[in-house]
Structure 1
């Protein structure tokens, strides 16, 4: 009886080991090594913008919190930022002719924060960053460097918002 019990335990362990192998299921998210750790925010609103001069350029700025934005991501990862107004989603930096002048919305990332900055190309006056704009960030921690030959670096700047969401399986 003890021999049969030991055989059943060994058989159970063997079946469990086989059924847990990675070859009988889909391997998570397809793509570059490390993409399983992608962090993305909900659509956020930013506080009221204020006039500011950055590197000699006058504009309007505000800041959104990004608590997951670490020194490691700043040094080795990628930060994607999007702005939504109406039905449209645009990649930051974003240049338009809002307010009758060519202007750009750009971002400056630091630990746990992303500063949003809008400036006119003429350097005269400002165009506001309305609190009705919605913002979303996607943080991609660094993975294996492309130089190791194990993974190719993807240039996300050539992908639009919908393509990035599809690539990382992020709900839009």
Structure 2
């Protein structure tokens, strides 16, 4: 029985190969072009990104009862519409790395976080110490970049929801929007 199955399998493969030969039929003819489709939903063609920027010297500030150091970078394209419906990504570069904000580290031998607070045409960079004791500076040697993704059509289902860009690496975001890192 096993031999019969093997012979049948070989015969099936041979027939398939012969019947699929490109020499036993005439070439097909391309059909007429179809109708033009409907215009698609708004895409990401209008993504805005900055060059790498330096920020002014940070100053002490208290935000929502939390003391820290802050500075701001200009983002002239940051509109009310983007604030309301878009996505704002901010990155910090130092040493050999690029980091997404918020960024938590142990600089100054204490846990601290650098976050970005977006407002019309500006992005405030704020660093606070988790323990609330003291501050850690925001050196002017750090570089900053923002990527603004205008809002589009609201997603109807989870299948069409926009990606969570904050969970993507800087390199993945740059690749997705064809941005030179």
Q: Which band: TM-score by shorter chain?
A: 0.7 to 0.9
Aligned partner (choices 86, 89, 97) of residue 88 of structure 1: 97
How many residues matched? Answer: 144
Matched, 1:77 2:67: no
CA gap of 1:150–1:102, structure 2 versus 1, over 3 A, is closer
Q: Give the match for residue 142 of structure 2.
A: 133
SS in 1 for 2:161: coil
Matched, 1:100 2:113: no
Summarize deviations over 1:77-103 as a string: whole Å, max 9, x none. Answer: 000000000110000000000010000
For 2:167 and 2:63, the matched residues in 1 are separated by 27
Q: TM-score, normalised by structure 1?
A: 0.79
Matched, 1:52 2:73: no
Q: Give the match for residue 15 of structure 1.
A: none
Q: Give the match for residue 154 of structure 1.
A: 163
For 1:85 and 1:149, the matched residues in 2 are separated by 36
Contact 1:83–1:90 (CA<8 Å) still a contact in 2? Answer: yes
Instruction: Flag the structure with higher helix content.
Output: 1
Any gaps of 5 or more consecutive residues in structure 1?
1-17, 23-31
Aligned partner (choices 108, 115, 130) of residue 121 of structure 1: 130
For 2:81 and 2:145, the matched residues in 1 are separated by 20
1:157, distance to aligned residue in structure 2 (A):
1.5
Q: TM-score, normalised by structure 2?
A: 0.75
Aligned partner (choices 67, 83, 94) of residue 76 of structure 2: 67
- Look at both structures and tell me which one has the larger radius of gyration over its CA atoms: 2
Q: Give the match for residue 34 of structure 1.
A: 43
99-108 vs 32-41, greater mean Cα deviation = 32-41
